[in-house]
Amino acid sequence: MAAERLKDHSQESRTFSIRAVIAFVLVIMLMGGLIGRYYYLQVTEHSKYASLSDKNRVQLQPVAPTRGLIYDANGVLLADNRPSYSVTVLKEQMRDLDGTLLKLREIIDISDRQVERFRKRLRQRRRPFETVPVKFRLTQEEIARIFVNYHRLPGVQVEADLIRYYPYGKSLVHALGYVGRINQRELQKVDATNYADTHYIGKLGIEKYYEEMLHGSVGFQQVETNARGRVMKVLESSPPVPGQDLELHLDMRLQRITEKLVEGRRASVVAIDPKTGGIKALVSTPGYDPNLFVTGISNTDYAALRESEDLPLFNRALRGRYPPASTVKPIIALAAMDSGTVSPAYTVHDPGFYTLTRGGRRYRDWKRYGHGKVNLDLALAQSCDTWFYSVGHKMGIDPMSDYLGRFGFGQVTSLDLPEALPAILPSRQWKKATRKRPWYPGDSINLSIGQGFLVATPLQLATATAVIANRGKWVRPTMLKGIRSVDANGEPVLIPPDISEARPLPADIEVNNPAYWDHIIDGMASVMHGPRGTARKSAQGAQYRIAGKTGTAQVVGIKQDEKYDAEALEERHRDHALFVAFAPIDDPKIALAVIVENGGGGSSTAAPVARQVMDAYLLGLDPTTADRAIYEDLEIALQ
């Protein structure tokens, strides 16, 4: 039997002591490490981590300014801001974005297109903890459904926002333009800081041109948030500066009346105050509802607008390029006299045509067998083509192009209509550069009656008519009348627009003999009030004297010996009807241009519209309602 080993208590005591010392040292080392780390974090790096902590707790949020309002000259509100509710998503508060979207779509109706747009906006998000809208313009029922299901929708919330609203819809879209959701390309062109919380920007028209004034300046607020990013309280705020309110020259009453007069037609009317250049009406029909574009138009609605044969998206008043036809004859006549080509007493014999050479091609007058002996007054009153063929041939292209340019053709002279086109003012140099051909005498023949290469916009025709009304004095066509503000006493004031950086206007037209203006204006008066004037029916019963000029622009050509038969042509191939006028002659208060596409003769279609627009502005009549009988008695066709 082996001997039993006795325990060595002294050895066990030494081992325990060593282990205790090692454990104590380890504890001391760990405590030292913790104390050192604590000191490092709380003392050495205190400032750094205090700042990071504040960033987690305190957020600096931008506050979008309220967009400025737009009024007409009589204080009628044209562009408003209205509250709208949207359902938004805060990505940082959700674990399953796709799952949350599915739940949300079970609660309210959200289309695939809306989801697609949401994902695009989410990718373009500019900063963390920024909510992204999924659906705009929630109904009260939809808001209630979301509130009831908040517990199932982490990161989803309903937000109130002010969005643009246009009370008159399509009546003003081609004059005001509209705002829409700001995109990445537009964001790169503006101060990104100032647009930090802005979702909308001017896309067209006044809304686009005066975007800087209307937008205002962004504000900021410091808010305390919880761990989930929700705002607990506002610590400090710097309020935004609202956008400026604008007042336009536009007369909404006149705008609505004018629109009704051409309703159902492809037409445009521009009316200007010759004294100020203020645009009183700018109509292009058909139009479209700009409210559809504010928060994003559906594919179906946009396709319907884009594919319409009537081109409702097209701004005819500013971008429509039409042969001005006989409406430029007063300017051609002035050019012929002032350039010394002919005297005011110049007459021609009109057999119904004009030839450059004996037996050569016949340039037909609109009246098949001619007007007989024709002087300047009858040439304008009856719109005799042969008289203008003759002076155009004698004068040649250079004076005609020069004088037409002095009246604003071939250029943009307006202040705040960014979509306006210069159209085309032909010249020798222009034809050589664009057509690689010289200018021929036949080109001058065509130009003398406003056909051929010359095209103009309704805005240019109205502007040129205003210059005639002012006997050569230029005024700049403009929409903005002033900025609404208050003075030191709190009284409302209107601050005129700053046009110091606007493009220069053409010089005032100085003619060699002021009497030339009398000849031109008297001839335009004969159009309306003369016994043989082409628009004399439209002036019947007028309480003021009108100076006007009719025009009929060909859409399709006809052979030399053919007779124009409107009934044999498709409606869209028929002539355009044009008319320009100003009134009263002795103290012009309105100048306007009317174009009715495929409307036939200017005297039968466009001139009656112009007469009624002038009556509405000068006399306060409304030919679309109770005053209609006045024009029926005068046998003026209401369009």
Q: 289-322, pLDDT tens digit by residue?
A: 999 999 888 888 999 999 999 999 999 999 999 9
Strand partners, 223: 59, 234
Measured in whole angstroms, the distance separating CA 489 from the mean position of its chain's CA atoms is 35
Contact predicate 71/484, CB 8 Å: yes
Q: Give residue 3's pLDDT band: very low, low, confident or very high (50, 70, 90).
A: very low
Contact predicate 577/604, CB 8 Å: yes
Give every CB contact of residue 23 below 8 A, 6+ residues apart in sequence: none
Strand partners, 264: none
Other C-beta atoms closer than 10 Å to the C-beta of 522 total 16
pLDDT in tens, 103-122: 898 889 988 888 888 888 88
The span from the CA of 225 to the CA of 56, in Å, is: 8
Indicate left, alpha or beta for 64 from its phi (over 0: left) and psi (-120 to 50: alpha): beta
Q: Give residue 242's pLDDT band: very low, low, confident or very high (50, 70, 90).
A: very high
What is the percent of the chain with per-residue pLDDT over 70, rounded to a whole number? Answer: 91
Q: Give residue 7's pLDDT band: very low, low, confident or very high (50, 70, 90).
A: low
Contact predicate 481/249, CB 8 Å: yes
Residue 269 has phi, psi (to 5 degrees) of -135, 130
Q: Give residue 565's pLDDT band: very low, low, confident or very high (50, 70, 90).
A: low
Q: Give residue 463's pLDDT band: very low, low, confident or very high (50, 70, 90).
A: very high
pLDDT in tens, 326-366: 999 999 999 999 999 999 999 999 999 999 988 889 999 98
* Residues of each domain in the chain carrying CATH 3.40.710.10: 253-293+314-633
Is the bond leading into 584 cis (omega within 30 degrees of zero)? yes
Mean pLDDT is lowest, of 118-122, 127-131, 507-511, 564-568, for 564-568
How far is CA 349 from each of CA 154, 306, 354, 520, rounded to the nearest angstrom? 88, 50, 10, 20
- For the cut 80, the answer to whether the pLDDT of residue 226 exceeds it is no
Mean pLDDT is lowest, of 385-394, 485-494, 588-597, for 485-494
Strand partners, 363: 354
For residue 326, give the DSSP letter.
Answer: G
If 0-12 CB within 10 Å is exposed, 13-18 middle and 19+ buried, where does residue 190 land? middle
Active-site entry in 326, 339, 401, 604: 326
Decide the pairing of beta strands 372-374 and 362-364: unpaired
Question: What is the pLDDT at residue 333?
Answer: 98
Q: For residue 639, which of 222, 302, 270, 257 has the smallest C-alpha distance?
A: 257
Question: What is the pLDDT at residue 579?
Answer: 97
Measured in whole angstroms, the distance separating CA 506 from the mean position of its chain's CA atoms is 24
Other C-beta atoms closer than 10 Å to the C-beta of 339 total 18
What is the percent of the chain with per-residue pLDDT over 90, rounded to a whole number? Answer: 60
* Residues of each domain in the chain carrying CATH 3.90.1310.10: 68-248
The DSSP code sequence of 139-200 is -HHHHHHHHHTGGG-TTEEEEEEEEEE-TTGGGSHHHH--EEE--HHHHTTS-TTTTTT--E
Helix and strand counts by DSSP (H, E) for the chain:
23, 21
Contact predicate 59/129, CB 8 Å: yes
Largest CA distance in the chain: 162
Give every CB contact of residue 117 below 8 A, 6+ residues apart in sequence: 296
Q: Give residue 151's pLDDT band: very low, low, confident or very high (50, 70, 90).
A: confident
Mean pLDDT is lowest, of 62-66, 407-411, 540-544, for 62-66
Strand partners, 70: 79, 246
Is 3.90.550.10 the CATH number for 68-248?
A: no
Q: Give residue 532's pLDDT band: very low, low, confident or very high (50, 70, 90).
A: very high
Strand partners, 344: none
Using DSSP, state whether 444 is helix, strand or coil.
Answer: helix
Question: What is the pLDDT at residue 137?
Answer: 85
Could you tell me which residue, 580 or 44, shows the higher pLDDT? 580
Using DSSP, state whether 597 is helix, strand or coil.
Answer: coil
Pick the CATH number of 253-293+314-633 from 3.10.180.10, 3.40.710.10, 3.30.1300.10, 3.40.50.360: 3.40.710.10
Residue 323 has phi, psi (to 5 degrees) of -65, 125
- For the cut 90, the answer to whether the pLDDT of residue 606 exceeds it is yes
- For the cut 50, the answer to whether the pLDDT of residue 1 exceeds it is no
Q: 């309903």: which residue's tokens?
A: 158
427 is known as an active-site residue: no
- For the cut 60, the answer to whether the pLDDT of residue 181 exceeds it is yes
pTM here? 0.86
* Terminal Cα distance for the chain, rounded: 135
